[in-house]
Structure 1
């Protein structure tokens, strides 16, 4: 299955309809993974370091940690990208290998996720960004439907 087919199937599998909110996606991901999911902004995480967000899996749940941004849409995209990894089942994907000798004090899974995010040309990152864009469009659709923005401005 190619990336477009995988993303289309994953999006359809969420059964969110054509318009939805970030909370609707959060609930769908929690239900699918049968785990609690928390979103936390890290004030010290800086996008200039090349890390906008990361997904951590713990024994008690999932965490999306994201950098601060003055733009709500930018922050939302950080979070949606990490949600997309969860939706696409990238928790054990390994098409962007990380070296075990790097970051030795960080568990291997977390190390791999951090380094994979840096390689935006790998298939998992392309698919995650594609799905994040589709999710963002659905959220915008719900806002547009409520405000008739698209009817006024095209």
Structure 2
């Protein structure tokens, strides 16, 4: 079920959508990236594949994007030496998927510029120029919450190994 971010008196209300997605994933306070991916796949009823693409961000400044296919969600991202940076790229795109941002239907716009790219993907790529848009704010908020849960799981695992070897 898509979650729409609403504007009311120029205030972006993202907390409800973000909290709802987190609750529905039933991951608890600490989880691994693999657990998050598995829960996301179950919720969307399709696999998510993550692919690094050399040169993705060179010309357009694009860090990552989601491409929807009939049978799979494909998250592509630019290479980076930072594991945390790469993780944030991917978590942000997974957040867009779970918040339903790619399912928005506005098929009125012309497709002559990028006819081979699905309409929802075109809209989203063009909308990326505004990092203050409600969808970008919500996706970044959810990605940050995902990252916090993954960090909590990593700290817990480190303590377990320290104590119990």
| TM-score in same-fold range (> 0.5) | yes
Deviation at 1:89, TM superposition (A): 1.3
Partner of 1:20: 31
1:105-125 Cα distance to aligned partner (Å, 9 max, x none): 433222112112232111011
1:64-102 Cα distance to aligned partner (Å, 9 max, x none): 00011110000000000011011111122379x977454
Q: After superposition, where does 1:123-134 map in structure 2 within 5 Å?
A: 123-134=134-145
* Residues paired across the two proteins, number: 147
Deviation at 1:28, TM superposition (A): 0.7
Structure 1: distance between partners of 2:134 and 2:35: 26
Structure 2: distance between partners of 1:117 and 1:79: 15
Q: After superposition, where does 1:1-154 map in structure 2 within 5 Å?
A: 2-46=13-57, 49-93=60-104, 100=111, 102-148=113-159
Highest Rg: 1 or 2? Answer: 2
Partner of 1:151: none
Q: Which moved more, 1:123-132 or 1:42-51?
A: 42-51
Structure 2: distance between partners of 1:58 and 1:71: 28
Secondary structure of 2:92's counterpart equals helix
Q: Contact between 2:105 and 2:120, CA under 8 Å: does it hold in 1?
A: no
TM-score normalized with structure 2 length: 0.80
Normalized per residue, the structure richer in helix is: 1
Structure 1: distance between partners of 2:110 and 2:131: 17
Q: Which moved more, 1:135-144 or 1:83-92?
A: 83-92
Segments of 5+ residues of structure 2 without an aligned counterpart are 1-5, 7-12, 160-165
Secondary structure of 2:122's counterpart equals helix
1:14-36 Cα distance to aligned partner (Å, 9 max, x none): 11011111111110111011111
